[in-house]
Amino acid sequence: MGHSVSDEVEARELEISSHQFSHHVPDDGLPSFHKVRLPPRQKLYKELTSTLKETFFAADPLRSFKDQPKSTKLILSLQALFPILEWGRHYNLKKFRGDLLAGLTIASLCIPQDIGYAKLANLDPQYGLYSSFVPPLIYALMGSSRDIAIGPVAVVSLLIGTLAQGQVDSTKNMEEYRSLVFTATFFAGITQAALGLLRLGFLIDFLSHAAIVGFMSGTAITIALQQLKGFLGIKNFTKKTDIVSVMHSVWGSVHHGWNWQTILIGSAFLVFLLSAKYFSKKRKNLFWVFAIAPLTSVILSTFLVYITHADKHGVQIVKDIKKGINPSSFHHIHFTGEFAAKGFRIGAVAGMIALTEATAIGRTFASMKDYQLDGNKEMVALGVMNVAGSMTSCYVATGSFSRSAVNYMAGCHTAASNIVMSGVVLLTLELITPLFKYTPNAILSSIIISAVIGLIDYEAAILIWKIDKLDFLACMGAFFGVIFVSVEIGLLIAVAISFAKILLQVTRPRTAILGNLPRTTIYRNIEQYPDARKVPGMLIVRVDSAIYFSNSNYVRERILRCLTDEEEQLKANDQPKIKFLIVEMSPVTNIDTSGIHALEELCRSLQKRGVQLLLANPGQVVIHKLHASKFPDLIGHDSIFLTVGDAVLTMKRKEEEV
């Protein structure tokens, strides 16, 4: 029978292991061992700068600036700030054709979506179009992603609408409400740009993938439920977003609030939109069907309402959309005072969620096309575009997954597709907006429902359940928090559970008891490898984490508990007691003073029991700190070994000599 790849790898590992000591056999016939050496210690300044550079400048953006003349440094600086100066030099007609087609395609998708998303943010329809005009132009100049399509998105629109509505009622004071939204957009941009300039992009990684899946899925359901107002033709609808309030509002108006003509229009076009989406997924070359389906639906439904005068029979329509390009909104932004504080709180949350979505989208398509994406540059670009947008009547814009996917499949080559899309939106604002007057609200609801359904990722939730139950708890916590309470509570739960998971893993690291694989010098977890055998008279424990103040006492107590349990088993079976406890430290990447203090206490506790402490394979940072604390003087300089195998054989040799 044939051998699997894993069998060959294991056989090779065993072969290497069996020869590990054969090259160092002295005259007495016993193997000799490599000593654990103390590497040269870095100076404090160099160590600090190295750590800071790795944390904040892992990509080392200044590397290309070294040994360059001033003129070249200026050009490189401008290219770093405006990537269009770099890719624009190699732009050609072939790339333009691809970007033109992609830009026109995503424009046909974004125009009806933007009108609907503006309603999610409790704004007039034109503000959604404004947000797909200025921000994409800024991003095209400063963004480094070739595929991302910029504009309003459902999740951020609902988040802005919900948080701002909680501070100012849009129905009673629209002027103040808009001011708060523009102020929040300004501070969202400031937050994003600051994170990029300070190279703090790693902070958004603290929101786990599982929490994001739950939050996005819950938000998608909440958005879909909110669309029942327009889909069913209900005039008096709850301002709350939780599922209980929404369903109570829906069923409470079933006899006097629903409009059958509206339901007929909405249902027919929702079936059309979902069918277009289905066929586009089945046949990738038919991506354009999904892209033009929303605009086609708007045109057909608008014409249908116009010729049948359905608006006179209870079908709610968009009515007037203000014509013209973005007016200035600088005078609406509050930079100080209570309004500024409210705007900052809303903007910081919306900005972080927008960043998370854009970063995920950008990385996805960058990996598909095999190019590098500088996350910090992306944050600066997104931040600047939102700051500029806040001054030109836009609300928070970011990368849209549906539009970016269409952009990618349409064959975009550069960010110029965003410029094309922006140009089409400009023409729409200047020429076409009056034609949307008779567009039924039901069709906008259908478009949003068909768009957000893709955010409900049940397959990812099932996979999370199979992989990590704690991750699944974070996912479900965020999901139920959004649909049963509110979007902000769901987000808070997602963040809280993500941090709780980090704290749990830091404060309660895993430990494993190791055993020897027969006929080798390899030591593995006895739970993972049933063939692994414990070494008589020895207990080998591996600590799978750095040892810090947050977990040092737990690590010490956990090791002592393992020793106690092992001794009780040996006593029950009349076997020899433990004489040596070996701690395998290769996974221990760092240790602090509390960790060293815990090891010292562990050593003293073991000495009282007549057990000797041995360490195996401490890393460079750990061995430096152990020597600085004079820990080897406590356990003996000959009690630190290169490998577990070295420690076991040395102790066996000593036992035999005795």
Reported as a single tens digit per residue, the pLDDT across 181-207 is 999 999 999 999 999 888 877 777 777
Reported as a single tens digit per residue, the pLDDT across 140-156 is 999 989 999 999 999 99
Q: How far is CA 633 from the centre of its chain?
A: 46
Whether residue 600 is predicted with pLDDT greater than 50 in this model: the reply is yes
Phi then psi for residue 588, to 5 deg, are -80, 95
Report the pLDDT value the prediction gives residue 484, as an integer from 0 to 100. Answer: 94
Angle at CA 135, nearest 5°, toward 347 and 192? 35
Q: Percent of the chain having pLDDT more than 70? A: 90
Q: How many residues does the chain have?
A: 658
- What residues are paired with 581 via a beta bridge? 539, 613
Report the pLDDT value the prediction gives residue 200, as an integer from 0 to 100. Answer: 79
- What residues are paired with 525 via a beta bridge? 514
CB neighbourhood size of 180 (10 A) = 26
Residue 333 DSSP label: -
Give the separation between CA 168 and CA 332, rounded to whole angstroms.
14
173-177, 295-299, 634-638: which has the minimum mean pLDDT?
634-638
CB neighbourhood size of 434 (10 A) = 10
Report the pLDDT value the prediction gives residue 17, as an integer from 0 to 100. Answer: 40
Q: How far is CA 176 from CA 127, 170, 179, 254, 279, in A?
A: 15, 8, 5, 34, 44
Give the separation between CA 626 and CA 590, rounded to whole angstroms.
11
Give the separation between CA 366 and CA 355, rounded to whole angstroms.
16
Q: Which helix (H) or strand (E) holds 541?
A: strand 538-543
Which are the contacts of 58, defined by CB distance < 8 A and separation ≥ 6?
A: none
Which are the contacts of 400, defined by CB distance < 8 A and separation ≥ 6?
A: 110, 113, 149, 150, 151, 152, 153, 361
- What residues are paired with 150 via a beta bridge? 399
67-76, 370-379, 586-595: which has the minimum mean pLDDT?
67-76
Answer yes or no: are the C-beta atoms of 218 and 159 closer than 8 Å.
no
Reported as a single tens digit per residue, the pLDDT across 328-361 is 999 999 999 999 999 999 999 999 999 988 988 8
Taking the CA atoms of 263, 265, 267 and 270 in sequence, report the sign of the dihedral they define.
Answer: negative
Which are the contacts of 531, defined by CB distance < 8 A and separation ≥ 6?
A: 517, 518
Whether residue 59 is predicted with pLDDT greater than 80 in this model: the reply is no
Confidence of residue 67 (pLDDT cuts 50, 70, 90): low
Answer yes or no: are the C-beta atoms of 487 and 219 closer than 8 Å.
yes
Report the pLDDT value the prediction gives residue 47, as an integer from 0 to 100. Answer: 59
Give the separation between CA 155 and CA 117, rounded to whole angstroms.
9
Give the separation between CA 244 and CA 252, rounded to whole angstroms.
12
Beta strands per DSSP E along 468-520: 511-516
Token readout for 185 is 């957009």
16-25, 34-43, 239-248: which has the minimum mean pLDDT?
16-25
Token readout for 70 is 């001033």
Question: Residue 398, SS3?
Answer: strand
Token readout for 314 is 């209870």
Report the chain's terminal Cα–Cα distance, integer Å.
49
Which are the contacts of 617, defined by CB distance < 8 A and separation ≥ 6?
A: 36, 584, 585, 586, 641, 642, 643, 644
Pairing mode, if any, of strands 523-525 and 511-516? antiparallel
Section 158-179 average pLDDT: 93
Q: Percent of the chain having pLDDT more than 90? A: 64
Answer yes or no: are the C-beta atoms of 20 and 645 closer than 8 Å.
yes
Taking the CA atoms of 532, 534, 540 and 544 in sequence, report the sign of the dihedral they define.
Answer: positive
Report the pLDDT value the prediction gives residue 225, as an integer from 0 to 100. Answer: 93
What is the pLDDT of the chain when averaged over all its residues?
A: 87
Answer yes or no: are the C-beta atoms of 392 and 135 closer than 8 Å.
no
H helix and E strand count, the chain:
27, 8
Whether residue 488 is predicted with pLDDT greater than 90 in this model: the reply is no
CB neighbourhood size of 7 (10 A) = 10
Answer yes or no: are the C-beta atoms of 582 and 644 closer than 8 Å.
yes
Report the pLDDT value the prediction gives residue 208, as an integer from 0 to 100. Answer: 82
Question: Residue 543, SS3?
Answer: strand
Report the pLDDT value the prediction gives residue 658, as an integer from 0 to 100. Answer: 62
CB neighbourhood size of 521 (10 A) = 19
Helix axes 209-226, 243-252, angle to 10 degrees: 20
Whether residue 93 is predicted with pLDDT greater than 70 in this model: the reply is yes
Which are the contacts of 612, defined by CB distance < 8 A and separation ≥ 6?
A: 579, 580, 581, 606, 635, 639
Q: Which helix (H) or strand (E) holds 169?
A: none
Report the pLDDT value the prediction gives residue 11, as an integer from 0 to 100. Answer: 41
Pairing mode, if any, of strands 538-543 and 580-584? parallel
Give the separation between CA 387 and CA 135, rounded to whole angstroms.
9
Report the pLDDT value the prediction gives residue 606, as an integer from 0 to 100. Answer: 95
